Amino acid sequence: MEIVFDRLPENLEELKALPAASLNEPEYGAALFLAAMMMYEKDREQTWQMLEFLYGPAGLSTFTKQFINDRMQDNKFYKVKSYFKGSSPENNYEPSMPLTTVEIQRRDDSMVEGRCRLFMKSTGADTPREIRMRHKPSTNQWFVEDQMLLADIRVPVASDSWA
């Protein structure tokens, strides 16, 4: 499934105004996770508020915040951009603006007892990365349960001393 954003949200209100904020498909929450992470470099507080919404009843734990901070340290913001179409190590993960399209794969064995494993392709990695979503039946919404999207990838050419 391909998710296209007219524009990326800068705060929780803008995120909730997006059609995908219904969260009635697991892919919507996965794509919104990346959209929210695009604000990380500019305003972490806004990012945390958006992620709090996307993690649903479980909330955004201190551990999860620390994990994200750890993965993003040393200016590794390019990891998030690598999931948007048109990015690559060669263009320093700076595709043509706007950064609005992400592609999400759901495999045949992805759904198990109210949980869904989705896979997203980073242009800096050889294999798709996983994000896990959990269903809340009373609202028919899918929330982020865990993600492996922020692991290291190929460094941008501009930062690669071996390029």
What does the mean pLDDT of the chain come to? 94
pTM of the full predicted structure? 0.94
For 38-73, give the DSSP string.
TTTTT-HHHHHHHHHHHTGGG---HHHHHHHHHHHT
| Tens digits of residue pLDDT in 107-139 | 888 889 999 999 999 999 999 999 999 999 999
Closest CA to 80 of 8, 12, 149, 157: 149
Tally of CA atoms within 13 A in the half-sphere of 33 that contains its CB: 31
Give strand pairing partners of 111. 116
